């Protein structure tokens, strides 16, 4: 993997992302395939330049500490298909401005202030 890339495109057909696979890589954006179902623990932790995350519509499970300490992360979209997500997934994401997710998922994130959350009906 080219460590200097601004954008990571995960190959179409990928259904699972392994633990820690992109941790500490300095990209700004990640594009997920629509087939993705599972993301492992720490997969994107410490990605210091990551700014925006839009998880794909069929995703079911997001591991623990997923995006922790992504210092520049400002926006996250978590689709209603997500049934499991590690409650510490966004610790240290101090620049978060908007998080779009269901009320059920939002209840797991005690440390994200309510004014930043927009609920999916």
Q: 18 and 38 in contact (C-beta within 8 Å)?
A: no
**C-alpha to C-alpha distance for 59 and 82, rounded to whole angstroms:** 6
pTM: 0.91
pLDDT digits (tens, 9 = 90+) for 55-90: 999 999 999 999 999 999 999 999 999 999 998 999
Which helix (H) or strand (E) covers residue 16, if one does?
Answer: strand 16-17
Fold (topology level) of 1-121: 3.80.10
The pLDDT tens digits for 84-95 are 999 899 999 999
Number of H helices and number of E strands within the chain?
1, 10
List residues bridging with 29 in a β-sheet.
Answer: 7, 52
**What is the domain partition of the chain in residue ranges?**
1-121
Partners of 102 in the beta sheet? Answer: none
What is the C-alpha to C-alpha distance for residues 17 and 9, in angstroms, rounded to an integer? Answer: 12
């Amino acid at each position: 993997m080219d460590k200097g890339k601004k954008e990571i495109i995960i190959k179409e057909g990928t259904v699972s992302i392994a633990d820690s696979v992109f941790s500490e890589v300095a990209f700004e954006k990640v594009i997920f395939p629509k087939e993705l179902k599972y993301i492992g623990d720490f997969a994107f932790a410490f990605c210091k330049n990551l700014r925006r995350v839009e998880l794909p519509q069929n995703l079911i499970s997001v591991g623990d500490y997923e995006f922790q300490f992504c210092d520049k992360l400002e926006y996250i979209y978590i689709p209603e298909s997500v049934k499991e997500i590690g409650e510490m997934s966004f610790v240290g994401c101090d620049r978060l401005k908007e998080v779009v997710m269901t009320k059920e998922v939002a209840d797991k994130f005690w440390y994200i202030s309510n004014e930043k959350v927009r609920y999916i009906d």
